């Protein structure tokens, strides 16, 4: 395909006329498709329906540690549920607490606790003049919104093919006492699909925080979400690396089964050092007596162990892999060589990250919406929803059917082309005016 950047003005104008006609035809189709959030499809949720038959009115509801799951008690969660989540997170069960269904809820509680009560005796953040958080970007919009809601200053850190720019991370963390945390989605990052390299993980463990209450917020949401059985990313264990250098208190780990079992009825867990867990439980014991142990027991008996869980995830991969490939095939076929966009090719997770020409993302998303396809808002993958280049768009392929997805990505590509042509013609007009 000829590069759009090398086209003459006449070629661009003719192309614009053709693309505009195609776009109007799409508008006449009255589409209503959604690629805005990383939601499992109904077909994926159906995979877990047999779990509903694991327990009934005749079931033994006594956990392996003797706890009656119908009653109060066991704030940390039943042992078999902690063991399951611990194996996913790469720690021992004693360093895990299993909550309800939402890891985002745990992250919110963890930040809120630091704001209100402080971390392990440190000054509560609410009593400090300034608190900052590092935000690898493009990144997870809900992380950014969560911390912003507490008045915490968000500092973007550029994502690279190996993870966050660690030179920037080290500069801030090691020298600025107001930097209290960093958000990380270390495997198949949202939205880039990048997995942190071994060197990046080791550099995280080697940090020398200026603030005693600095923590790495390690949201390993896609730990078991591989697309290919024979081609998977491997993530170094951050807890083991921190242990090697005597910094076990520096990490909070988070995980859930939201995209493993039921999105609204799974298990969520936090992993942390003994000191951190003791600090967390002081506050947690005031919030609740225990979480839903019957749901924990249901999950533990259905999934059994991490190997059974991985077999279950192969079924998920079989459903969503063709969706990722449909998007990537269309992008490669329609945009390769055009020089108007670049995109990631993840081996797992839930997203594809697309970078348009600078200044085009907002208009691409707008055009797609007006023709019936909803995308994640432009700028959402950056702190304060401000993408400095107005370039990044998160594509979420999992929820629509393959057929719907093919229609959606066809329209998306058309919007990229049309917006890019308009931008190039606009830039040419500005150059002529300047001359």
User: What are the structural domains, with CATH classification, of the chain?
Assistant: 4-44+310-429 (3.90.1150.10), 62-304 (3.40.640.10)
Reduced to 3 states (helix: H, G, I; strand: E, B; else coil), residue 271 is: strand
What span, in angstroms and rounded, lies between the C-alpha atoms of 245 and 342?
A: 38
22: closest CA among 394, 334, 433, 376?
334
pLDDT digits (tens, 9 = 90+) for 249-281: 999 999 999 999 999 899 999 999 999 999 999
Confidence of residue 432 (pLDDT cuts 50, 70, 90): low
pLDDT at 245: 97
Identify the CA nearest to 424 among candidates 27, 336, 432, 392. Answer: 432
Out of 380-384, 406-410, 425-429, pick the least confident: 425-429
Quick one: which of 320, 204, 252 has its CA closest to 91?
A: 252
CA distances from 142 to 77, 195, 258 (A): 26, 19, 15
Contact 384, 397 (CB under 8 A): no
Question: What is the per-residue pLDDT for 427?
Answer: 87
Q: Is 278 exposed, middle or buried (0-12, 13-18, 19+ CB in 10 A)?
A: exposed
- Cα 344 to the center of its chain, rounded Å: 14
What SS3 string covers 214-236?
Answer: CEEEEECCCCCCECCCCCCCCCC
Supply angle C-alpha 93, 282, 289, rounded to 5: 75
Whether 334 shows a pLDDT value over 50: the answer reads: yes
- Which pLDDT score is estimated for 430? 57
pLDDT, one tens digit per residue, over 317-333 is 999 999 999 999 999 99
Q: Looking at residues 339-353, what average pLDDT do you find?
A: 97
C-alpha dist (Å) from residue 357 to 41, 392, 425? 31, 9, 13
Assigned token pair, 216? 């790495």
Q: Which two tokens stand for residue 139?
A: 């990144």
Q: For the chain, give the longest Cα–Cα distance.
A: 83
Q: What is the pTM of this model?
A: 0.96
Q: How far apart are CA 432 and CA 252, in angstroms?
A: 55
**pLDDT for residue 435 is more than 50:** no
């Amino acid at each position: 395909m000829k590069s759009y950047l090398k086209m003459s003005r006449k070629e661009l104008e003719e192309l614009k006329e053709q693309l505009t006609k195609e776009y109007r035809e799409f508008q006449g189709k009255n589409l209503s498709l959604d690629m805005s959030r990383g939601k499992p499809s109904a077909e994926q949720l159906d995979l877990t329906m047999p779990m509903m038959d694991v327990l009934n009115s005749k079931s033994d509801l006594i956990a392996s540690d003797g706890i009656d799951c119908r009653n109060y008690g066991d704030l940390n969660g039943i042992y078999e549920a902690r063991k399951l989540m611990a194996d996913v997170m790469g720690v021992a069960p004693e360093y895990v607490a299993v909550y309800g269904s939402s890891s985002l809820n745990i992250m919110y509680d963890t930040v809120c606790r630091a704001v209100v009560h402080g971390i392990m005796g440190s000054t509560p953040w609410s009593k400090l003049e300034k608190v900052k958080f590092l935000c690898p970007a493009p990144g997870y919009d809900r992380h950014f919104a969560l911390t912003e809601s507490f008045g915490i200053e968000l500092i973007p850190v550029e994502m690279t093919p190996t993870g966050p720019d660690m030179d920037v991370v080290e500069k801030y963390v090691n020298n600025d006492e107001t930097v209290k945390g960093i958000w990380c989605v270390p495997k198949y990052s949202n939205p880039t699909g990048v997995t942190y390299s071994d060197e990046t993980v080791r550099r995280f463990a080697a940090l020398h925080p200026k603030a005693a209450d600095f923590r790495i917020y390690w949201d390993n949401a896609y730990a078991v979400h591989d697309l290919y059985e024979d081609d998977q990313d491997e993530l170094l264990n951050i807890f083991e690396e921190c242990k090697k250098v005597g910094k076990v208190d520096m990490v909070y780990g988070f995980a859930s089964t939201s995209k493993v079992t039921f999105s609204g009825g799974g298990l969520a867990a936090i992993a942390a050092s003994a000191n951190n867990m003791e600090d967390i439980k002081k506050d947690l014991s005031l919030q609740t007596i225990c979480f839903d142990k019957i749901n924990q027991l249901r999950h533990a008996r259905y999934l059994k162990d991490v190997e059974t869980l991985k077999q279950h995830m192969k079924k998920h991969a079989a459903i969503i892999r063709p969706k990722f490939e449909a998007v990537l095939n269309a992008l490669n076929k329609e945009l390769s060589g055009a020089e108007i966009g670049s995109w990631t090719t993840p081996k797992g997770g839930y997203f594809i990250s697309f970078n348009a020409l600078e200044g085009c993302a907002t208009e691409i998303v707008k055009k797609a919406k007006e023709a019936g396809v909803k995308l994640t808002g432009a700028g959402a993958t950056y702190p304060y929803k401000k993408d400095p280049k107005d370039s990044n768009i998160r594509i979420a392929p999992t929820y629509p059917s393959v057929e719907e997805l093919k229609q959606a990505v066809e329209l998306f590509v058309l919007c990229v082309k049309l917006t890019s042509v308009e931008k190039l013609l606009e830039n040419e007009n500005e150059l002529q005016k300047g001359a």
